[in-house]
Amino acid sequence: MRRVTVFEQLSLDGYFADSNSDMSWAHKDDPEWNAFAGANASGGGVLLFGRRTYELMASFWPTPQAMEQLPEVAEGMNRMPKVVFSRTLDRATWSNTTLLRGDPAAEVRRLKRQEGPDMAILGSGSIVSQLADAGLIDFYQIVVNPIVLGKGRSPFDGVTRRRSMKLTESRAFANGNVVLSYEPIA
């Protein structure tokens, strides 16, 4: 069965976006961090997005600016197959993207049963909360950024069931980011 991984950048106070939906605070230039992000992006699989995150990513990664700033990450992001969950988009124009209009939990349950590569959610807080609540996430990579936002959006808003986790790995970076890897405890 295919696995679903979440890669989520959070502030110290637990937000993936500030109160204006800005996520630029999560991108700190650091050679070690860039190498880690590049390796993650070139790992293969299928990327899963909600509409807002998809539109943000699709407006940056196919650009010359992305190729200049983070060429390895941009190449991986543009090459990888992508799924966007949306009831409002007319079409998905970013390369290798499939638009799904159904319930994200039902669609991911269906995708997990099919043959194919594992899937990863980048950002997309509403998708994370829906899939976490449905018990469909197999692995969490949470990046804690050294910033307090005060207000914002949590990727776990709307989760109604308690989910216990087991820490499997942690790694600190010179830019202050700390990656915490968790697996749900059944």
Q: Could you give the CA distance from residue 42 to residue 79 in angstroms, rounded to a whole number?
A: 9
Give me the chain's average pLDDT, please: 91
For the chain, the C-alpha Rg in angstroms (whole number) is 16
Within a domain: 179: no
Instruction: Give the pLDDT confidence of 15-28 residue by residue, as tens digits.
Output: 998 888 888 888 77
Within a domain: 94: yes
Is 72 strand, coil or helix? helix
Tokens of 150: 């005060």
Within a domain: 112: yes
Within a domain: 153: yes
Within a domain: 154: yes
**Which CATH number do you get for residue 78?**
3.40.430.10
Within a domain: 123: yes
Res. 14 pLDDT band, cuts 50 70 90: very high
Tokens of 89: 């988009």
Domain that holds residue 125: 4-23+47-163
Within a domain: 175: no
Instruction: Give the pLDDT confidence of 104-156 residue by residue, as tens digits.
Output: 999 999 999 999 999 999 888 889 999 999 999 999 999 999 999 999 999 99
Closest by CA to 33, choosing from 182, 167, 176, is: 176
Q: Is the pLDDT of residue 87 over 70?
A: yes
**CA angle, 160 as apex, 159 and 164 as ends, to 5°?**
80
Within a domain: 180: no
Please tell me the predicted confidence (pLDDT) of residue 54.
94
Using CB atoms within 10 Å of the CB of residue 90, give its burial: 0 to 12 exposed, 13 to 18 middle, 19+ buried. Answer: exposed
| pTM of the model as a whole | 0.89
Q: What are the percentages of helix, strand and coil residues in the chain, rounded to 5?
A: 30, 25, 40
Domains in the chain, number: 1
| Cβ atoms of 148 and 11 closer than 8 Å | yes
